Amino acid sequence: MENVWQWLFGEGRFLGIEWHFWKAVGWLGNVTFFSRFVVQWLATERRRQVTVPAAFWWLSLTGALLLFSYALYRRDSVFIFAYAFTWIPYVRNLVIHHRTLAAIRTCPACGAQSAPHARYCHLCGKGLDQPAGTPAPA
């Protein structure tokens, strides 16, 4: 027990790490970035198909920005470059995700929600009004 305590808090450290503000920022970035895999895995298991929830992109963006901040503090060019541009696809995926949610179709008859491109309600079969600009079926 004494050894465990020594390992956890020995020599003014926690887990053998010498903590300071930027070390906490870096580790918070690591934990945030890692947690996205857990979130994505759980979402996939829940739906039993590969699923990437918006939370995955938010955790990616937050973790990458925290790690980028830490990289700047460290002035490590390799580390800085690794996280300098990753935010671009994360933000783009969040924008696309938001647009897809906004375009989801709601059936006027039963209230079921269908995919943006759906022509008929997947529950009751009622035709859905087509958004402006949709080509008529052949």
Q: Which residue do the tokens 């529950």 mark? A: 123
Binding residue for Zn ion (CB under 5 A) from 15, 42, 95, 124?
124
Contact 29, 69 (CB under 8 A): yes
The minimum distance between CB 99 and Zn ion, in angstroms, equals 23
> Which structure tokens are listed for 62?
């937050």
| Percent of the chain that is helix, strand, coil (3-state, to 5) | 60, 5, 35
- Does the protein bind Zn ion through residue 103 (CB under 5 A)? no
- Does the protein bind Zn ion through residue 104 (CB under 5 A)? no
**Of residues 84, 55, 50, 51, the one with CA closest to residue 67:** 84
Helix 87-102 and helix 54-74: axis angle, to 10°? 160
The minimum distance between CB 48 and Zn ion, in angstroms, equals 24
Chain positions 14 to 43 lying near Zn ion, rule: CB under 5 A, are none
DSSP class of 107: -
C-alpha 76: how far from chain center: 26
Please identify, using beta-carbon distances, which residue of 67 and 121 lies nearer to Zn ion: 121
How many residues sit in the footprint of Zn ion (CB under 5 A)? 8
Binding residue for Zn ion (CB under 5 A) from 109, 115, 119, 131?
109
> Which structure tokens are listed for 109?
């008859």
Binding residue for Zn ion (CB under 5 A) from 15, 17, 103, 110?
110
- Does the protein bind Zn ion through residue 112 (CB under 5 A)? yes
The minimum distance between CB 129 and Zn ion, in angstroms, equals 12
Residues that bind Zn ion (CB under 5 A): 107, 109-110, 112, 121, 123-124, 126
